[in-house]
Structure 1
Amino acid sequence: MALPEMDAGVGHSFGLEFDGIQIKSITEISGLKMEQDVIELKENGADGKYVIKKLPGRWKAPEITLTRGLSADTSFDKWIKDSQFGKMGAVRKGGAIIVYDYEGAPLKRYKLTNAWPKSLEIGTMKAGDTSVMTEKLVVTCERLEVE
């Protein structure tokens, strides 16, 4: 019996793409979660026994955290600033998070609908520390789908 074919799903790099702009320097992504509510329907069956049925409910919108090394790129800063000033027409964007393989080819895409930045956090600053400073952008969206 042959073993099932499996791709090495190792994400060597990650990227963010919104409105044709690509940011490939993402080092960590968390919160990619597709979830929906469960509705419990309680009733008596035809034989009179108590039955609980579970039905699919509303989709829950995820909050995705993107981490990258601090750089001169101001795309995160501008996006969060526009959100703070309530320019939601320009801030809500459609795009995708892309996982690349070791050769740089797209391995998987996660489509975000009406995404906008919730917060931006700069990593801890400590004198004499040799670690890379990071910035974390938390993005919320109305829907997350696998393409």
Structure 2
Amino acid sequence: MPLPENDSGVGYSFGLEVDGVQIQKIQEISGLKMEQDVIELKQNDKDGKYTVKKLPGRPKAGELTVTRPLSEDNSFKDWIKDSQFGKMGAVRKGGSVIIYDYENGPVARYNFTNAWPKSLEMSSLKAGDTSVLTEKLVITYETLEAE
């Protein structure tokens, strides 16, 4: 369902699904990017004039960074442990980043394929700090398509 003509999407209404499972308590998703190579064709035309033409190349793989509060949920830790032990058949997953409108209806979906965790980082531990501890998972994927 598209947004009404004069409305825009809001940055706080989003969700993440991995293999059909909704990931809870996501604070931030960054790195959502569709990109492709650029091919430069350098040639001389019939009059001998040098020209450069840019052509679309292959799509590039990418990375998403997902941040959520540290909790009893060990799914990120278990996922990266499996990848470190080379269980790639079980580790590679598909998923989606979903953007919602004001009424929680989906307005955009970005599907990624063959994703697996590259790194997991916990926020800094600092004496006297009162901020919420977070874990940041970097997910690498092979393709990203907008729906």
Question: TM-score of the superposition, structure 2-length normalised?
Answer: 0.91
Give yes or no for contact 1:11–1:102 (8 Å, CA) kept in 2.
no
Where does residue 137 of structure 1 map in the other structure? Answer: 137
Where does residue 108 of structure 1 map in the other structure? Answer: 108
1:1-147 matches, within 5 Å, as: 5-147=5-147
Question: What's the CA shift for 1:6?
Answer: 3.1
Percent of matched pairs sharing the same residue: 72
Question: What's the CA shift for 1:12?
Answer: 2.2
**Structure 1 portions without partners, runs of 5+:** none
One-letter code of the match for 1:5?
A: E
Question: What's the CA shift for 1:137?
Answer: 0.2
Q: State how many pairs are aligned.
A: 144
Secondary structure in structure 1 of the residue aligned to 2:24:
strand
Distance across 1 between alignment mates of 2:21 and 2:37: 33
One-letter code of the match for 1:32?
A: L
Distance across 2 between alignment mates of 1:123 and 1:70: 9
Question: What's the CA shift for 1:65?
Answer: 0.5
Q: After the TM superposition, list the runs of 4 or more consecutive aligned residues in structure 1 that deviate by more than 6 angstroms.
A: none
**Structure 2 portions without partners, runs of 5+:** none
Distance across 2 between alignment mates of 1:31 and 1:15: 15
Question: TM-score of the superposition, structure 1-length normalised?
Answer: 0.91
Give yes or no for contact 2:9–2:100 (8 Å, CA) kept in 1.
no
